[in-house]
Amino acid sequence: MKVRVWDLPTRLFHWLLAVCVTGLVVTGEIAGDAMAWHFRFGYLVLALVLFRLVWGFAGGYWSRFSSFVRRPSHVVAYIRGRKSSSSVGHNPLGALSVLALLGLLLVQAGAGLISDDEVLVSGPLVAKVPNAWVTAATTFHTTVGKFGVLALVALHIGAIVWYRLRKNDDLVTPMWTGDKDVLEPVAASVDSAARRWTALAIAGMCGLGVWALLAWAATAP
């Protein structure tokens, strides 16, 4: 039988995030005129990650942190094969990579706001912080942050391919259609029109928050 695992807001969040992060890496490397798009993608990633953090409390059952964030001892037991996990939702190891990705993207986008290439482009909040912060944030953004994001995305996609080849487990179709085939009944994520409107309202507020930050950034230092 089929069960709704990923509600539409989670799926839209995911694929938009994947497009934006790819766009960020490409425009960051091209630099020059592409930086205008780098900034736009960056603001969108900020709003998306903020949305996902709220949706981790307000979203469908399997999108909530309470359904997949586990104690470290539980994760270790899972890795050692001493604990199995539900085949629905994120497994304990996958959950760690979700949190690492969201956390690093938030820090990387935050650093971008105060990064500066000392020639043509400056993040919108550069004038609001001390120079030493700008130097540190730019170094982080172009080294640890950049390679960290690339490594986590490679690990993420590698893990999905591994599950497909080694465990014959197709994780991609559910992230696309929302549904998973299960043998026994499990809780479903509610994905009604009302929940989707709620998600849109939350996403709108996150967008407004980023916009307010940028409006403040444009005021005199």
DSSP 162-192: HHHHHS----HHHHHHSEEE-SS--------
With residue 193 as reference, give the H or E element that holds it.
helix 193-217
Nearer to ligand HEM, 124 or 178 (CB): 124
Least separation in angstroms between CB 187 and ligand HEM = 16
Nearer to ligand HEM, 8 or 175 (CB): 175
Residues at the site binding ligand HEM, with contacts judged by CB under 6 A: 10, 13-14, 17-18, 21-22, 24-25, 28-29, 38-39, 42, 45, 52, 63, 90, 94, 98, 101-102, 105, 108-109, 112-113, 115-117, 121, 123-124, 138, 141-142, 146, 149, 153, 156-157, 160, 171-172, 175
Least separation in angstroms between CB 201 and ligand HEM = 18
Nearer to ligand HEM, 13 or 78 (CB): 13
CA atoms within 13 A of residue 36's CA, in its CB half-sphere: 1
Least separation in angstroms between CB 181 and ligand HEM = 13
Cite the DSSP H helix spans in 34-185.
Answer: 35-58, 65-68, 72-79, 92-113, 131-142, 144-166, 172-177
Cα separation, 6 vs 160, whole angstroms: 16
Least separation in angstroms between CB 160 and ligand HEM = 5
Identify the three-state secondary structure at position 49.
helix
